[in-house]
Amino acid sequence: MNGKIYSLTRLVKAFVYSWRGLKFTWQNETAFQQEILALLVMLPLAFWLPETRIKSALLVMSLFVVLITELINTAIEAAIDRHGDEHHHWAGVAKDVASSAVLLALIQCAIVWLLVLF
């Protein structure tokens, strides 16, 4: 019984931490807000437009890859910004690379939608 309570407590704490991360990102990242709004528009279309559930799944996954990548980008930026405002070459490289990951996720999403729908 004690192991189950511990697991439930751990699960609740993990959910709370995750929710705080989503809340932080929503409040501090305009790009994340835009991506969520796009998700709210595109998610119903992902279920309505394709002929098969597999195609719907591909569209939905491509949308969530963008959000996941944005969250990772925000985490990297927050960790780097924690160390101060001074410019450091490698801090800039890390931020640029994380931003590039978001760009590739957006390109991937567009390609998946084009391939599935056309």
Which residue numbers are catalytic? 70
d(CA 116, CA 32): 24
Give yes or no for a contact between 41 and 88, defined as CB atoms under 8 angstroms apart: no
CB-based contact 77:98 (threshold 8 Å): yes
d(CA 30, CA 115): 28
In terms of Cα–Cα distance, which of 113, 10, 7 is closest to 63?
113
Contact 49, 41 (CB under 8 A): no
Q: Rounded CA gap, 109 and 90, in Å?
A: 29
